[in-house]
Amino acid sequence: MTDGGVLVAICDASELRDFLVEFRPTVDAPWETVFEAEGGPVPVVDTAMPDSRLSVTTSEPFEVTGSSIVAVLFSDAARPADVSYEAEFRIPASGLGDADWIYPDGSIGTDRCR
């Protein structure tokens, strides 16, 4: 997490070029598009402080708290049909620590990539 956003690590050699992050503060809330960009490749997408190699079209601050949900959709082409990665991260009710990373399977650790 960052102040006003999240960090999303890209843990393989894919050269992703299109990035979309959506957010729900609670399970009942509607999805909000909080980050859209293209460019790169970059090893980490920081929605609050985007890498200068990205052309950002949407960047809205948001605060991840316990029980919120973050969804990411990253692709290597401009068409949604060519999606490379899609994941939904459900934040535990107790929240996350400053050094914690949440993995697509819901487990939590301190390594960016495992």
- Flag whether 114 is in a domain: no
Q: What pLDDT, on the 0 to 100 scale, is given for residue 28? A: 93
Q: Tokens 């959506």 sit at which residue?
A: 22
Looking at residue 79, the DSSP 8-state letter turns out to be S
| CA nearest to 8, candidates 38, 47, 37 | 47
- Flag whether 109 is in a domain: no
pTM confidence score: 0.86
Average pLDDT rounded to a whole number, residues 47-59:
92
Please give the residue range of the domain that contains residue 28.
Answer: 7-97
Please check the confidence at residue 7 and state whether its pLDDT lies above 90: no
Average pLDDT rounded to a whole number, residues 97-110:
89
- Flag whether 103 is in a domain: no
Please check the confidence at residue 18 and state whether its pLDDT lies above 90: no
Query: What is the domain count for the chain?
Result: 1
21-34 pLDDT, tens digit per residue, is 999 999 999 999 99
- Flag whether 82 is in a domain: yes
- Flag whether 73 is in a domain: yes
